[in-house]
A and B are shown apart, each in its own frame.
Chain A
């Protein structure tokens, strides 16, 4: 049953000093509330035991982030949105940014805080495995002063922490020493959005002469609190990364976790998934070790504008090309292909349109916007089957193309490689039935495929 608000006291101190003084005045009687994404749910269910609450949502001292040479400090009152949008977190602690992006929906991310996630101490807390892997420290504050506690020792049991009754978490500190590490974070839940995790991994390691160094493998939802897999890490460190090591580490991890059966999943499923996630992490770590192709090695070293111009032949969007050049160096073809898909998906419609304009209309040889001889030559290759079609099909294609342009205001984009003229004609006629939105998405997907094929051709010289 819902709680009666008349039975609850809530005050909003103006600053941190006032908040900790109030906490100290009756230790254990006052409960801090920040974004309310956990406590207001308990309030709604009638299970919120504390009757006196202190709002810390607006304390400016908790909302700051500071960047130092050796570490960054994130205020405990920073929301998931703050964390997700922070440049340094995004580039140096990407697993934390990802965890923030998969916590609830946007409204929850705008209210829920990093400090709240930590003190709520759920074994399924999304940001917690990343904090463990990145070796975070917590700054705790009370009227007695501040103390710094390694996050790894903060949780002492299921929903139990070292936080004293008169203390608040003021900030989280992350050491800036993982720049050269490979990271892998993944949440396995019932669905992508708004799900509590069944198993969640955040793992880091670096490679040296083909061997694994400093493996840091953290998990959520597989023990009473977020944990690192010490045995699996020990097994991996300083070993040559090969398939037998991957298999052994996967089995060790599945045996090392201590999951339970609950409403969201079973212990058996969780252990199996944990083993698979470790294998996935190590396989991807291994992929970073393959030698880059000659083309890629040369391109990695070009000045940004030259790199941008060269890759523009693979996809005619300037923003895409600039984004790809900015993400160098790439270790291998797989990394380039993955980055391309991600960059493409995040472009705006006008960038998609720019890429579309760089192709000649099927059945013609000149693009609206000629970018390079290489792009034109690839177009000719891709459309060679269509060009060999008989005259009747060519005429029908030209007619359907004109209709398409009238209807959608741009040229028809299809990944023509390997498709005959009549196949393309069929596809074109079907797509004329699409509405604007569906057709734009279909064209963008076709352009994505064209780009992938061109990137491979380019990298293979």
Chain B
């Protein structure tokens, strides 16, 4: 058992494939540690209460809202942020189709949308429209009206199938 008190503790985790150790208060949000200590500002803060998905990251294979994760709970975990998707085949296809379909406008929701879409396509490489709606239901976009985003994900899935 690790007793920590309200003093900073060392938290070791793997971020985008690299082992990192940060010193933080145990209740600090994973979101803040990623942005402020590790400089990974691709992860955005929207609502700060798990409603909007702007801060989505993939932790141990599961999509999570990093604003709801106390950093101590990320001890020993494997975290992938938008910066870690550079060479991911699905993320590259999504980047192309988001551009083609007009799936990104102001861009605040885009990193979270991309992670949610990658997570969805990892689980269901050939999603139906209902699967796409379900998979992205936790990510809010105030610009596009969603249709372009859903189409971009569907198009990326088709490209994945073709490959």
Residues of A within 8 A of B (CB): 2-3, 5-14, 18, 22, 33, 35-37, 40-41, 43-45, 53, 55, 57-58, 81, 101, 104-108, 110-111, 192-194, 345-350, 435-438, 440-441
The answer to whether A10 and B64 have CB atoms under 8 Å apart is no
Residue of B nearest to A55 (CB): B73
The answer to whether B70 and A44 have CB atoms under 8 Å apart is no
**Secondary structure call for the B interface:** mixed
Could you give 5 example pairs across A and B, Cβ below 8 Å?
Answer: A8-B6, A53-B27, A193-B137, A349-B158, A437-B154
The answer to whether A41 and B73 have CB atoms under 8 Å apart is no
Residues of B in contact, count (CB < 8 Å): 50
Please indicate the chain A residues that have their CB under 8 angstroms from the CB of B133 in the complex.
193
| Bound complex: CA A194 to CA B116 (Å) | 15
9 smallest A-B Cβ distances: which pairs?
A: A105-B138, A348-B126, A193-B137, A10-B26, A5-B25, A8-B27, A110-B62, A40-B68, A5-B27
| Bound complex: CA A5 to CA B136 (Å) | 30
The answer to whether A347 and B49 have CB atoms under 8 Å apart is no
The answer to whether A12 and B63 have CB atoms under 8 Å apart is no
Please indicate the chain B residues that have their CB under 8 angstroms from the CB of A33 in the complex.
70
Given A10-B72, A346-B128, A350-B161, do A110 and B6 touch, yes or no (CB 8 Å)?
A: no
Would you give the shortest CB distance from B62 to chain A, in whole angstroms? Answer: 4
Would you give the shortest CB distance from B40 to chain A, in whole angstroms? Answer: 18
Would you give the shortest CB distance from B160 to chain A, in whole angstroms? Answer: 10
| Bound complex: CA A43 to CA B70 (Å) | 10
| Bound complex: CA A441 to CA B62 (Å) | 29
Pick from A3, A7, A104, A438: contact of B138, CB below 8 A: A104
The answer to whether B27 and A10 have CB atoms under 8 Å apart is yes
The answer to whether B116 and A106 have CB atoms under 8 Å apart is yes
Pick from A37, A41, A345: contact of B130, CB below 8 A: A345
Residue of B nearest to A35 (CB): B68
B5: Cβ under 8 A from any A Cβ? yes
Pick from B3, B28, B48, B155: contact of A437, CB below 8 A: B155
Residue of B nearest to A41 (CB): B49
Please indicate the chain B residues that have their CB under 8 angstroms from the CB of A43 in the complex.
27
Considering only residues 94-128 of chain B, those with a C-beta below 8 Å from chain A are 116, 119-120, 126, 128
Given A40-B29, A107-B116, A437-B154, do A194 and B137 touch, yes or no (CB 8 Å)?
A: yes
The answer to whether A108 and B138 have CB atoms under 8 Å apart is yes
The answer to whether A107 and B1 have CB atoms under 8 Å apart is no
Considering only residues 119-159 of chain B, those with a C-beta below 8 Å from chain A are 119-120, 126, 128-131, 133-139, 151, 154-155, 157-158
Residue of B nearest to A57 (CB): B73
Residue of A nearest to B155 (CB): A437
